[in-house]
């Protein structure tokens, strides 16, 4: 009996500690696992564990000093040249405020980088007027998951603006020295989500397509058929087209979910001509 009583006393003596431990555990977790709140927490935890991890876009970290230079000029450019002309997409406005346009022009032109005009960048090419860059970017309706194809890299500025918003930008430049210099500038500024290729943009970049958006920055007499093929269903393409009288206009092409194209004239413009295959007479389907 003594042994039994002693054993009972030991168990009884441990009960307060056991109860206290359970109470502390309940207080630490905040809710009982069997309560409605506890079940909700467990379900939420399970959902969090099962949900796929969202990959962040490869947008630049803006560590290069150029991003901190001439900030006030960029803000004034956006306000006076872009917002007042009707561009309203917040992501486009923020991209235009962020990208240092002066880093994409030759040193002799940098004093004019934020003026309301295109600038000469060599090789008979120009960097587009800021408003046109913003207008065309807004027309594409980019989001952080978009993949973009650009025809005519030029300085790399338009690609950088798109890359501030989109996940990936693939851009093609037929003038090899410009393709090389744009690659260098974009890399220096930290645009790891822009990929430059020297080549004829007429044929697009089929191994990287199809694309959510395609933008052309040189005028042709027709829309190259390979670009139409590389545009996703639901995608949008904007580019300048020149008529028989030498007049240019931006056209916006949309491809619906059935693969049908819809075209709309949106703005009269003046771009440098597209060169390469597009200048040759039509000779059947391109491969």
Strands 248-255 and 147-151: unpaired
- 231 by DSSP, 3-state: which? strand
Buried b (16+ CB within 10 A) or exposed e, 242-254: beeeeebebbbbb
Q: 168, 165, 166, 278: which is closest to 216 by C-alpha? A: 278
- Asked if residue 124 has pLDDT above 70, the reply is yes
pLDDT of the residue at 285: 52
Q: Give residue 25's Cα distance to chain centre.
A: 48
pLDDT in tens, 32-48: 444 444 444 444 444 44
Find out whether 18 and 10 touch, Cβ atoms under 8 Å: no
pLDDT in tens, 160-189: 999 999 999 999 999 999 999 999 999 999
Catalytic residues: 128
52-95 pLDDT, tens digit each: 433 455 566 788 999 999 999 999 999 999 999 999 999 999 99
- Mean pLDDT computed over 110-136: 97
CB 149 within 8 A of CB 214: yes
pTM tops 0.75, yes or no: yes
Which domains can be identified in the chain, with CATH numbers? Answer: 65-279 (3.40.50.150)
């Amino acid at each position: 009996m003594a042994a039994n009583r002693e054993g009972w006393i030991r168990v009884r003596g441990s009960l307060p500690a056991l109860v206290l431990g359970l109470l502390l555990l309940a207080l630490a977790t905040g809710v009982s696992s069997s309560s409605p709140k506890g079940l909700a927490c467990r379900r939420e935890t399970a959902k969090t564990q099962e949900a796929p991890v969202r990959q962040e876009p490869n947008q630049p970290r803006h560590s290069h000093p150029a991003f901190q230079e001439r900030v006030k000029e960029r803000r004034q450019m956006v306000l006076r040249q872009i917002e007042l002309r009707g561009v309203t997409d917040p992501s486009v406005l923020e991209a235009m405020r962020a990208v240092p346009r002066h880093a994409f022009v030759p040193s002799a032109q940098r004093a004019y980088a934020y003026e309301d005009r295109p600038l000469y960048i060599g090789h008979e090419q120009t960097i587009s007027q800021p408003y046109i860059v913003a207008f065309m970017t807004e027309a594409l309706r980019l989001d952080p998951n978009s993949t973009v194809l650009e025809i005519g890299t030029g300085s790399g500025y338009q690609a950088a603006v798109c890359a501030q918003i989109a996940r990936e930008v693939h851009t093609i430049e037929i003038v090899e020295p410009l393709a090389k210099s744009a690659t260098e500038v974009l890399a220096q500024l930290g645009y790891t989500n822009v990929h430059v290729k020297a080549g004829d943009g007429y044929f697009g970049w089929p191994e990287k397509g199809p694309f959510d958006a395609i933008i052309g920055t040189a005028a042709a007499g027709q829309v190259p058929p390979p670009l139409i093929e590389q545009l996703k269903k639901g995608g949008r393409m904007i580019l300048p087209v020149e008529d028989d009288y030498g007049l240019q206009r931006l056209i916006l092409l949309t491809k619906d979910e059935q693969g049908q194209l819809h075209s709309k004239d949106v703005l009269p413009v003046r771009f440098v001509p597209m060169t390469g295959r597009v200048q040759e007479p039509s000779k059947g389907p391109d491969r």
